[in-house]
Amino acid sequence: MTTRARTTLTLDDVRTARERIGAHVRTTPIYGSEALARLVGREVVLKAENLQRTGSFKIRGAVNTLSMLTDSERAAGVIAASAGNHGQAVAWAARELGIRSTIFMPQDAPMAKVEPTRTYGGEIVLSGPVFDDALALARARVEETGGTFIHAFEDERVIAGQGTLGLELAEQLPEVGTVVIPVGGGGLAAGIAIALRALRPNVRLVGVEVVRGGYTIADGIAVKYPGELTMGILEELLDEIVVVDDESISEAITLLLERSKLVVEGAGAAAVAALVSGKVQPADGPICAVLSGGNIDPTLLISILRHGLTLAGRYLVLRSSLADRPGALIDLLGIVAHQRANIVAIEHRREGVELNLGDTGVDLTVVTRDEEHCLRLIAALEENGFPAERIR
């Protein structure tokens, strides 16, 4: 049996961190969500940490840690490894405190996270396909240069800084029954758990991980393993950890944007994904989902929204065929119009598909209202002699 690292962190450490970082960090708002409340069956509140400086909670731990460095550690410059958010936070905090920073990121890190880090003054090194590769190279640079390494989560100063979010929750939601928190390396969940277990001992604390290994849109929590220090805290203080996949995260991102007008990244949507997929067994009282970050690449956001809308029956892609003669296409389009669906793309296909001699293939992308609308349109086409194969 593995012996986890133990921590001496207490509520007082988190409170002290709050005093230390107060001039740099926003108290982020909370928002109720009627849409989520209907899905879950009880009151749901969103902690919008996606509206934090640098777009995520990471600024809390970064400012706390860099503020505690010695003069010699500052002079050596700081080095960090990051999927993106920690790097932004360290670069921003370093700039504010007059410290040189070097940030190692995976080579495919989203530009929405790379460019701001550079803008904040950090030297960027893109290295390796995943976070753990960037971490190994960052540690090697520390050995070579004597720079000061700032870990994303395996550091009590970082955990205490992240825990300040828990202090805000205790003040903003005194009656909260369940708090759902994304878990990557575990620093955020560990810090919140330390604060809330002291201030709200009966609250149910649920961590949410993404399926580990391989590609995920939740790059902010895509680490192979949580830290030893953080997992020691989580095993003691969390009630459970649940796992979500990219499909449920995609659905959550779409839902939050459409119904709550909040832009979140994959990791930031993980808590809501756990709720809408029924993974969380809540205690009595309101549920709070922590939206940990909003730094999503616009191109990825577009893909996720199209995918999410398709799953919800809001986009329909059909393949049909018709006689290759004047007026045939007009007949098909008339049926679509009669069903009050809107075509956004149409493509003829005469090669690469099986067709009867004298026919032509047609692919349609149609905007629909919901799944029931999709089924009515398909039925109407088939009733009028047009085959309708649903592509997605």
Of residues 33, 56, 127, 292, which has the active-site annotation? Answer: 292
Residues forming beta bridges with residue 30, ordered by sequence position? 47
Nearest to 273 by CA among 216, 227, 224, 231: 216
Of residues 33, 56, 58, 260, which has the active-site annotation? Answer: 58
Whether residue 58 lies in the annotated active site: yes
DSSP 3-state assignment of 280? coil
Both tokens of 249, joined, read: 């995260």
Compute the distance between CA of residue 66 and CA of residue 224 in angstroms, rounded to an integer. 26
Phi, psi at residue 148, to the nearest 5°?
A: -95, 115
Which strand (E) or helix (H) includes residue 343?
strand 342-349
Whether residue 292 lies in the annotated active site: yes
| Helical residues (DSSP H) of the chain, grouped into ranges | 11-21, 34-40, 58-67, 71-75, 85-97, 111-119, 131-145, 156-162, 164-172, 187-199, 228-237, 246-255, 270-276, 298-311, 328-338, 371-383
DSSP 3-state assignment of 294? coil
Compute the distance between CA of residue 272 and CA of residue 281 in angstroms, rounded to an integer. 13
Compute the distance between CA of residue 78 and CA of residue 62 in angstroms, rounded to an integer. 11
Q: Give me the active site residues, please.
A: 58, 292
